[in-house]
A and B are shown apart, each in its own frame.
Chain A
Amino acid sequence: MDTLNALAHGFSIALTFENLGLALIGCFLGTIIGALPGLGPSNGVAILIPLAFTLGLPATPALILLTSVYYGAMYGGRISSILLNIPGDEPAMMTTLDGYPDGQARDRPAKRWRLSGIASFVGAFFATWGLVFLAPQLVKVALLFGPAEYFALFALAFATLGGIASRNQAKAALAAGLGLGIAMIGVDGQTGVPRFSFGEVHLYDGIDFLVAIVGLFALSEVFIFLEHRGTEKATGDAKG
């Protein structure tokens, strides 16, 4: 078993006191960065690259540190999702939908964090084992994915959107259309033609998804709070 030998070698390097300590520091910093709305895993890694240089780390510990930052930030995004109803980064978007109302109504947020932490751990654990053993087989399936399969996948995604959305399907469709419209801004990836840039060079690379969700979620949460301040709904009500 080549894979297992390689894995055992990897563990022998990773399981030193120093490397585990770096992983802990990385996860801690990553969680803090992930919890800040607008800073996601990739920004977190980019921001903390200088840290790896200032500590003067060799290549392997530096990679361990940055991977842990990535993992920490992936988890940290849900802290603000559950506590504030503002997604910390893109993957935590869906956590706002059910993590926030439950966190307010039934349990204290800390219980929600613990629950999502355990769920993340189990998911990541099985995904990593799956990656170890199934990666060669998965590649074969992934290579079969052509335009038709992607189309089917996106059709499924939009159908799901209609299923989880509000009572009024027309409003869900309008919101989805507006989102797609925002995504249209910028240079078209297929033909290289700028779309909806109105001659403005800054719009050529489009409007980042992160910018859009922070603008829509964080600002609307602030506005709802301002609207209800001083009343009994002041903590912000998801149905508001």
Chain B
Amino acid sequence: MSDRILGGVGLLLAAFFIWQATLIKESFISDPVGPKTFPIIIGLLVGLSSLAILLKPDSEPEWPDFSRFFEIGLTVAVMIAYAYALPVAGFVVSTAVAAGYLSWRLGTPPAKAAFAGIAISVGIYAVFHLILGLSLARGPWGF
């Protein structure tokens, strides 16, 4: 069943891809092939392989139980929140929180994970911003 769902999603994606490809504006530069053709070929490739997966699925994979799914989902949520927090809270604070959370969930005891998060973010900030002069996202406290 998992493979049939994958194939179905792939077919929808291929249809969306080809539909979007037909909406690409033609350029004033005349080109015999044009910018649309190759995306449509790729869309057909995705569609055909999805169809093959849909009709001839592999045996059922081993799915993790719900608690693991929740764990993975929470990790994804933290990473997305990190991307949104960067411009608001600045690099050092948001990286410390995200890296600390990840090392906690990857198996470090909480106190050590908090230390790891702070060490990673301050370390990256020191090396890349203070020494090498790259610009990192600046928060309300100036770092």
Contacts and interface: CB of A to CB of B under 8 A. Distances in A.
Interface of A: 47-48, 50-51, 168, 170-171, 173-174, 176-178, 180-181, 184, 188, 190-193, 195-196, 219, 222-223, 225-227, 229
A181 B133 contact: no
A192 B39 contact: no
B24 A193 contact: yes
A192 B34 CA distance: 11
B48 interface: yes
Contacts, number: 88
Contacts of B14: 177
A227 B68 contact: yes
Contacts of A226: 68, 71-72, 75, 105-106
A168 B58 contact: yes
12 contacts: A170-B49, A171-B58, A177-B46, A180-B42, A190-B31, A191-B35, A192-B29, A193-B25, A223-B72, A226-B68, A226-B105, A226-B106
Classify the interface of chain A: helix, strand, loop or mixed.
helix
B132 A51 contact: yes
Interface of B: 10, 13-14, 17, 20-21, 24-27, 29, 31, 33-35, 38-39, 42-43, 45-46, 48-50, 52-53, 56, 58, 64, 68, 71-72, 75, 79, 102, 105-107, 128, 132-134
A181 B49 contact: no
B24 A223 contact: no
B58 A184 contact: no
A174 B48 CA distance: 8
A184 B48 contact: no
B102 A222 contact: yes
B72 A174 contact: no
